[in-house]
Amino acid sequence: MANYISSAPLWAIVLFIPSFLYSIVFIAQRVKQAALNAGMSSGKAGNIQFGIVGFYVIYLIYASVLALKGVLDVNSLPPRAMVWAGIPLMIILFGFFGNTGLFKKLLRSISLESLISLHIFRVVGVFFFIIYCYHLLPTRFTFFAGLGDIITAIFAFPLARMVSKQKPGWKAAVYVWSIFGIMDIVDLLVIAIITGANGNLREMAIFPFVWFPAFAPATILFLHALVFRKLQQPKSDIHAD
């Protein structure tokens, strides 16, 4: 019987699951604060936070079921994990959530620096290197996936402080950082397609690391799009907190 659970050591899997789930909680907490900034009651803000966490948990369960049944563990081009999990989430975020009145209200009420510092959660990219150390991922994919995320995360906090203090050049720095973060994901998707065609990305199609393609590309690209949308708002709304 085929095994659709990662061959990574148990300690890595046990550490990965709560770390990844906390990334979702971290994002939801920032949205809750934006709801409070918008004048919503603590109860409504809490419901929004719960709804975000609940949505992502359900979505990860969906991706996990597909992975555990072996549906995604097929050598195809593009990879099935991208088609069955990554693209649907992108459609939901960009096509639905991003166009709701509630979303637009929350975007006006969250500061640019909060949107930037959200990307600190991308330090979970360190797990690409952990998997790689056990010879479960190809070198090129690992370094593009892991380094790009970690670099973006490392610079998120100082950049957020730069924006908060409105230091000279902060806007240009935001554009450079955000374009780098987007290109990291775009390059990664291209490499994933090329590498996946050779059957070398099985870990990204089985549990639990299928969560990476199911959650990360769509969510990260959406968050970067929010940064650009925020930059287009009046200056009084950019530093809304």
Residue whose pair of structure tokens reads 């693209």 in the numeric block = 87
- What mean pLDDT comes out for the span 183-196? 85
Cα separation, 141 vs 138, in Å, equals 6
User: Does residue 190 carry a pLDDT above 90?
Assistant: no
Q: Which residues pair with 217 in a beta bridge?
A: none
**pLDDT score recorded for residue 194:** 80
Q: Name, in order, each residue with C-beta under 8 angstroms of 163's C-beta and a sequence gap of 6 or more.
A: 112, 113, 116, 170, 174, 239
What are the residue boundaries of the structural domains of the chain, listed by start? 10-238
Cα separation, 236 vs 241, in Å, equals 10
Confidence of residue 238 (pLDDT cuts 50, 70, 90): low
HSE-CB at 22 with a 13 A cutoff on CA atoms is 10
Q: Which residues pair with 5 in a beta bridge?
A: 207
Confidence of residue 196 (pLDDT cuts 50, 70, 90): low
- Classified as helix, coil or strand, 137 is coil
> pLDDT averaged over the chain?
92
Confidence of residue 1 (pLDDT cuts 50, 70, 90): very low
User: Does residue 138 carry a pLDDT above 50?
Assistant: yes
Q: Which residues pair with 207 in a beta bridge?
A: 5
Min mean pLDDT across 46-55, 132-141, 151-160 is at 132-141
- Classified as helix, coil or strand, 5 is strand
Cα separation, 241 vs 172, in Å, equals 21
**pLDDT score recorded for residue 240:** 54
Q: Name, in order, each residue with C-beta under 8 angstroms of 14's C-beta and a sequence gap of 6 or more.
A: none
Query: Could you tell me where the DSSP H helices lie in 118-200?
Result: 126-133, 139-164, 170-196
- What mean pLDDT comes out for the span 105-110? 94
**pLDDT score recorded for residue 199:** 61
Cα separation, 19 vs 40, in Å, equals 29
pLDDT in tens, 86-98: 999 999 999 999 9
Question: Following DSSP, what letter does each residue of 93-116 receive, concatenated?
Answer: IIIIGGGSHHHHHHHHHS-HHHHH
Pull the structure tokens for residue 240.
């809304």
pLDDT in tens, 10-51: 999 999 999 999 999 999 999 999 999 999 999 999 999 999
**pLDDT score recorded for residue 241:** 54
Using alpha carbons only, give the angle 18, 160, 226 rounded to the nearest 5 degrees.
75
User: Does residue 237 carry a pLDDT above 60?
Assistant: no
**pLDDT score recorded for residue 175:** 97
User: Does residue 3 carry a pLDDT above 60?
Assistant: yes
